[in-house]
Amino acid sequence: MVVAGVVLAAVLLLLTPLFDDELTAAPAPAPDYEAAQALADDLRSADGPEVNELCRSRVYDQGERADVAVVLLHGYTNCPQQWDDIAAAYVDAGYNVVVPRLPGHGEADRLTSALSDITPRALVETTDLAVDIAAGLGDEVWVAGLSGGGTLAGWAAAGRDEVTRAVLLAPLVVPKVVPEVLVGPLSRAFRFSPDIPLWWDGEKREALADPPYAYPRYTLRSLGAFLAVGRSVQGADATRTQQLETLTLVTNENDNAISNSGAVELADAVQEVAGGPAVDREDHVFDASLQYLHDVVDPQGENAGEIDQIYPVLGPYLGLDGLTG
């Protein structure tokens, strides 16, 4: 009986959504520019003294409501600095921009244990707040995200009516080394098991310094939190009442971190709940011969030497024709 009980508990924990967080969007959009400014203060106030100055949440605005406000969501273990050049290009184009620091990220101590405290609910609450701010800063809201941020951008596109354009860059849905069938069970197991930190580069370890403000390691629990968000999008019911206008998925045949098939499944799920065939969908795949690695956004990251070639390709998808590195 004891063994049967243990097996039943394991099945309920790992193979069913019984203990999964409820990750439905909770829209509270700012009704105007002034209300958006107040919410922006709330976002920035979450950055305590432990946060790297380069990694604090940013809200760039034109001093008034704009035609478009853009939410930029940084990658897993990176921080808002990752988007700095692209955010500046949006500001130069006359847009307002919100770049939130995701929970547990961006601390000055790059070996912090803060990642262990991340939950799926915390990730989507931060995303909700960023969209709420953007709704008061622009007549339209665009979202773009890389890696874990790409997963959150997909979540926002699936559940927030305010979002009209979404760009998912290599969204973290299925890690490269994990069979897709194990994503659900593992993400649930990571939440309830002791957290384990792992180095991104087992040889360089803490010496990994590109980019210098990102963490050189990740943890199983925080990885599971991002995977749980991706899973929730794939199982979501349609809640939008307004159709998503534009959806772009960018993947890379040489990606060293994520499974492209999982990224496609996420984009398909977003499209299904956000308007179906009526959504203007475009997919771009960087050819393996280019030898780009996972992070195609950060000028100080693993593709630093190729950003001059990458940005002009990304620009039109981001609504930034003429974007240069």
Q: Report the run of H or E that residue 8 belongs to, with start and end.
A: helix 2-15
φ, ψ for residue 101 (rounded to 5)?
Answer: -85, 125
**CA dihedral angle for residue 273, residue 274, residue 278, residue 284, rounded to 10 degrees:** -100
What is the b/e burial string over 96-118, where b = at least 16 CB atoms within 10 angstroms of the residue's CB?
bbbbbbbbbbbbeebebebbeeb
Sign of CA pseudo-dihedral 239, 168, 28, 232? positive
Residues of the chain with pLDDT under 50: 2-16, 18
- Residue with the two structure tokens 């409501």: 65
Closest CA to 188 of 37, 58, 316, 20: 20
Strands 96-99 and 58-60: antiparallel
Half-sphere exposure of 134 (CA within 13 A, CB side): 32
Residues 6+ apart with CB under 8 A from 325: 85, 299, 307, 308, 309, 310, 311
Neighbours of 290 (CB within 10 A): 14
Say what the pTM is. Answer: 0.93
**Which tokens is 52 given?**
């790297």
φ, ψ for residue 105 (rounded to 5)?
Answer: -105, 160
Q: Give the separation between CA 53 and CA 126, rounded to whole angstroms.
A: 19
Q: Give the separation between CA 217 and CA 162, rounded to whole angstroms.
A: 35
Domains along the sequence of the chain with CATH = 2-318 (3.40.50.1820)
Indicate the length of the chain as a whole number: 325
Q: Give the separation between CA 210 and CA 147, rounded to whole angstroms.
A: 16
Q: What pLDDT score was predicted for residue 17? A: 57
Q: What pLDDT score was predicted for residue 224? A: 95
Q: Report the run of H or E that residue 122 belongs to, with start and end.
A: helix 120-137
Closest CA to 227 of 266, 284, 281: 266
Category of 118 on φ-ψ map: left (φ > 0), alpha (ψ -120 to 50) or beta: beta
pLDDT in tens, 56-74: 999 999 999 999 999 999 9
Q: Give the separation between CA 41 and CA 35, rounded to whole angstroms.
A: 10
